[in-house]
Structure 1
């Protein structure tokens, strides 16, 4: 976090003038501090002379894909979830006039909490005595999100309600096949697994809001060890909540995992609940049947491999700088995720 007088992407005088007219509870001039993380969106802490704080967020600079970095989407979600049990920052103001600073932006309440990206973050923000509490809060918040009726919350038009898994399988399979030539790499399991998953997709229950990237990096842990807020809702949509659950469990690395979801995983340390305990707690809290959870685990492992394959292809084609990138390690991780997807499908078949 670095204090700065000038910030790319923000016309500070214009933004402060807009906030003065449209946002209550905080008054310019502000001290601006760039916050790291947040999917490359330009996110800043602003603090007024009275010590009152808020957070402002806008898309990155440059040309964007049509649906990428949708600030209006994030604003709508935190506004709708504010009255629910799901902890989100308070929605303070949304500017849809790009003339102010070149893009839509929104202002939300400041949360005194910290994301967990690494074991160092865990050591700093979640002492051993708080780790069980954090794990329980982490899964309880996800269960509470999946208990929200999107129509009742005003989010019924957030996305298509049916066919979530099928759409994802088709989208990421297109990505895999389109990346084969540039990657100079293919794996027959990417094709056979996609076919199996497509042909064996469980019937989807009522659609719920799915975060899409629910993990410790998007949950701000408070001083007491509980989740103070969930952030980064830009890829959220409506879909199958069990896919969201499996994604979260896949990211929840344990000590001894042969392939942690990320290196130096924040939860691969003593004191955290195991994935099985989190799944059981979720089932009790929601009443959902998790007998086919391995389908969703396998689906997410396969999807992660497809995402990495696309990234790997861009590196191999020279479309991204490879400076500091271990391409062989990236390739091994991709293959490992296909291994894990295959293992999940085998467990599923053994139960059939």
Structure 2
């Protein structure tokens, strides 16, 4: 049994699934992700695949469930949602101490570093942004019952489920007291919108979780389905906007590439999605604020996992207490922009 991946045992398992693996496999960790660990597998003929496994160390209940992610990817294989082709789900202890999902390697570019974003022509940057939300509309058009995902999660009101789940995640993994985050939780609880449509929700839909054609900006694959569930599709739009900073905003701890010239602004992204999906955006303020709130909680959880086990740190670095605070401040600013709350400095002065 290995603590990460055993390439020899994995190659044997892949051949048993029908994969054409030539010789031995190398496994190298890749990507900027802070959650499940991603490995590029390469055989002696140069063929490539991707393997995903949970992070190392003690995990929160229901977190990093790659078997569930496999189920979702399997259900989407024959839809018009672009996803990698699957090799299978490996649950053999000779390969790893946890389940591992193995899938095809998809050619293209992941816009997960500033130098990658800067290398794109501004017209391609615009296409990346608009293609992102059009793809989101395609995800939300999937009939979950037809593809076998109708029982993926509860169909109870999604906003309440999200608030319960992420409040519990914060309580279970918090690194320090954060009264302004708790106050933001109370603000969200006071502004829960009426339940909307029910669809497959990606749960973490942003530019770093897609592979795009560097020449056209068209999406080649959507990645990282571990947070997917059934819920309100506007929640996904809120998450996408939460990860989409704009020029002129102070840094919030999120990836700054969308501030470069060419990338569309958030209001244009929202309008494009609503046009492509035919949905109403009345609840977007709530879901946008909740999206930033959730990012702060996720980042705090990543910080906790790295404190507990430094081997979980991504090569791009890890969230810091300062960047987490910046994200919380950004959530308050977004809430204030929608008229839901005061600016963060006013909030702090009132609660000092």
Quickly name the TM-score band, shorter chain normalised: 0.7 to 0.9
Say which of 238, 243, 247 aligns to 1:246: 238
- Gaps spanning 5+ residues in structure 2: where? 311-316, 342-352
Confirm whether residue 127 of structure 1 aligns to residue 121 of structure 2.
Answer: yes
Give distance in 2, aligned partners of 1:189 and 1:66: 25
Look up the match of 1:26.
21
Confirm whether residue 228 of structure 1 aligns to residue 220 of structure 2.
Answer: yes
The verdict on how the C-alpha distance between 1:176 and 1:65 changes in structure 2, with shifts beyond 3 A counting, is: closer
Residue 215 of structure 1, CA deviation: 0.7
Look up the match of 1:291.
282
Residue 109 of structure 1, CA deviation: 0.7
Give distance in 2, aligned partners of 1:50 and 1:111: 17
- Gaps spanning 5+ residues in structure 1: where? 1-6, 348-352
Look up the match of 2:325.
331
Look up the match of 2:210.
219
Confirm whether residue 271 of structure 1 aligns to residue 265 of structure 2.
Answer: no
Q: CA RMSD in A?
A: 3.0
Contact map agreement 2:205 2:240 (CA 8 A) in 1: yes
Q: For residues 1-352 of structure 1, what are the structure 2 equivalents within 5 Å? A: 9-124=4-119, 126-174=120-168, 183-187=176-180, 189-190=183-184, 192-197=186-191, 200-205=192-197, 207-224=198-215, 225-260=217-252, 262=254, 265-307=256-298, 327-328=321-322, 330-346=324-340
The verdict on how the C-alpha distance between 1:184 and 1:245 changes in structure 2, with shifts beyond 3 A counting, is: closer
Residue 48 of structure 1, CA deviation: 2.6
TM-score in terms of structure 1 length: 0.82
TM-score in terms of structure 2 length: 0.82
Contact map agreement 1:93 1:108 (CA 8 A) in 2: yes
The verdict on how the C-alpha distance between 1:48 and 1:280 changes in structure 2, with shifts beyond 3 A counting, is: same
Contact map agreement 1:55 1:110 (CA 8 A) in 2: yes
The verdict on how the C-alpha distance between 1:61 and 1:50 changes in structure 2, with shifts beyond 3 A counting, is: same
Residue 9 of structure 1, CA deviation: 1.2
Query: How many positions carry a matched residue from both structures?
Result: 331
Give distance in 1, aligned partners of 2:323 and 2:279: 37
Cα deviation code 1:34-57 (max 9, x no counterpart): 213333433222223333221122
